[in-house]
Chain A
Amino acid sequence: MVGEGTTTAQVRSLDATREWLERNLHSTSILETERFSFYYGREQALRDVTLGIPLDGVTAIMGPSGCGKSTLLRAFNRMNELYPNTRAEGTIRFLGQNLLKADAVSVRRHIGMVFQRPNPFPKSIFDNVAYGPRVHGIRSRAVLTDLVEESLRRAALWDEVKDHLKKSALSLSGGQQQRVCIARALAVRPTVLLMDEPCSALDPKATDRIETTTRELAQELTVIMVTHNLQQAGRVSDHVAVLLAGGVLAEFGATKSVFANPCCDQVADYLCGRFG
Chain B
Amino acid sequence: MIAQVIAANPRRRRLAQRIAFTLLTISTLSAFLALGAILYTMLANGASALSWEFLSQFPRKMMTEGGIYPALVGSFYLTAGAVIVALPFAMASAIWLSEYSRGGLWVRVIRVGVNSLAGVPSIVFGLLGLAFFVKVLGFGVSVLSGALTLALLILPILIRASEEALQAVPMNFREGALALGASKWHAVRTVVLPSAIPGILTGLVLGVSRAIGETAPIMFTAAAFYMTRLPEALSDKVMALPYHIFVMATESPNYWRTRDLQFGAALVLLGMVLVMNLGAVTWRARVRRRKQW
Bound Cα distance from A276 to B270, whole angstroms? 62
CB contact between B172 and one of A117, A135, A168, A184 (< 8 Å): that residue: A117
- CB-defined contacts of B108 to chain A, threshold 8 Å: none
Shortest CB distance A199–B (Å): 16
Residue in chain B with minimal CB distance to A194: B179
Residue B229 at the A interface, CB < 8 A? no
A-B residue pairs in contact (CB < 8 Å), sample of 7: A79-B178, A108-B181, A119-B172, A131-B182, A135-B177, A135-B186, A170-B292
- Bound together, the chains give a CA A188 to CA B166 distance in angstroms of 27
User: Please, how many angstroms separate the alpha-carbon atoms of A51 and B191 in the complex?
Assistant: 36
B293 touches A82 (CB 8 A): no
Question: Is A132's CB within 8 Å of the partner chain B?
Answer: yes
**With A170-B292, A170-B293 given, is the CB distance from A119 to B186 under 8 Å?**
no
Docked complex: A71-129 residues within 8 A CB-CB of B? 77, 79, 82, 84, 105-106, 108-109, 112-113, 115, 117, 119-122
Q: Is A181 interfacial (CB 8 A cutoff)?
A: yes
- Residue A185 at the B interface, CB < 8 A? yes
Residues 173-191 of chain A, each 1 if its beta carbon lies under 8 Å from chain B, else 0:
0000000010011001000
Q: Across the interface, do A188 and B291 meet the contact criterion of CB distance under 8 Å?
A: no
Contact of A135 among B173, B175, B180, B195 (CB under 8 A): B180
Residues on A with C-beta less than 8 A from B103 are: 84
B102 CB–A CB distance under 8 Å: yes
**CB-based nearest B residue for A107:** B181
Query: Of A84, A170, A184, which is within 8 A of B180 by CB?
Result: A184
Residues on B with C-beta less than 8 A from A105 are 181-183
Q: Which residues of B contact A (CB under 8 A)?
A: 102-103, 170, 172-183, 186, 190-191, 194-195, 290-293
- Chain A residue at minimum C-beta to C-beta distance from B291: A122
Residue in A136, A170, A181 whose beta carbon sits within 8 Å of that of B176 in the complex:
A181
A108 near B175 with CB under 8 A, answer no
Chain A residues with a Cβ closer than 8 Å to the other chain, count: 26
The verdict on A122 contacting B195 (CB below 8 Å), with A117-B172, A170-B293 known, is yes
Grouping DSSP codes into helix (H, G, I), strand (E, B) and loop, the B interface class, with mixed when no group exceeds half, is helix
**Do B176 and A115 touch across chains, with their CB atoms under 8 A apart?**
yes
Q: Which residue of B lies closest to A128 (CB)?
A: B176
Residues of B within 8 Å of A108, CB to CB, are 178-181
Neighbour of B291 across the interface among A82, A113, A168, CB < 8 A = A168
Which B residues are CB-close (under 8 A) to A117?
172
Which residues of A (242-271) have their CB < 8 Å from a CB of B? none
* Closest partner residue, chain B, to A171 (CB atom): B292
Known: A168-B290, A170-B291, A170-B292. A121 touches B181 (CB 8 A): no
Judge whether A135 and B182 touch: CB under 8 Å: yes
Residue of chain B at shortest CB distance from A136: B181
Q: Decide: A119 and B176 in contact? CB cutoff 8 A.
A: yes
Q: How many angstroms between the C-alpha atoms of A224 and B251 in the bound complex?
A: 78
Q: How far is the CB of A258 from chain B (nearest CB, A)?
A: 29
Report which residue of A82, A122, A168, A181 has the largest number of chain B beta carbons within 10 angstroms of its beta carbon.
A122
Residue of B173, B181, B186 near A109 (CB, 8 A) is: B181
Q: How far is the CA of A56 from the CA of B63 in the complex (A)?
A: 86
Most chain A CB inside 10 Å of its own CB: which residue of B176, B186, B195, B290: B176
Shortest CB distance A75–B (Å): 13
Bound: A238/B175 CA distance, A: 28
Q: Which residue of chain B is the closest to A135 with respect to CB atoms?
A: B182
A106 and B190 in contact, given A82-B175, A115-B175, A122-B293 (Cβ under 8 angstroms): no
Q: What chain A residues lie within 8 Å of B172 (beta carbons)?
A: 115, 117, 119
Min Cβ gap A67→B in Å is: 21
When C-beta atoms are compared, the residue in chain A nearest to B182 turns out to be A135
A119 in contact with B181 (CB, 8 Å)? no
Residues of A within 8 A of B191 (CB): 121
Supply 20 further A-B pairs (C-beta < 8 A) apart from A108-B181, A119-B175, A181-B176.
Answer: A79-B178, A79-B179, A105-B183, A106-B181, A112-B179, A115-B175, A115-B179, A119-B172, A120-B176, A121-B173, A121-B176, A122-B194, A122-B195, A122-B291, A122-B293, A135-B182, A170-B292, A185-B179, A185-B180, A188-B181
Smallest CB separation, A86 vs chain B (Å): 12
CA distance A188 to B182 in the complex (A): 11
Q: Give CA–CA (A119, B178) in the complex, Å.
A: 12
Query: Which residues from chain A contact B180 at a C-beta distance below 8 Å?
Result: 108-109, 112, 131-132, 135, 184-185, 188
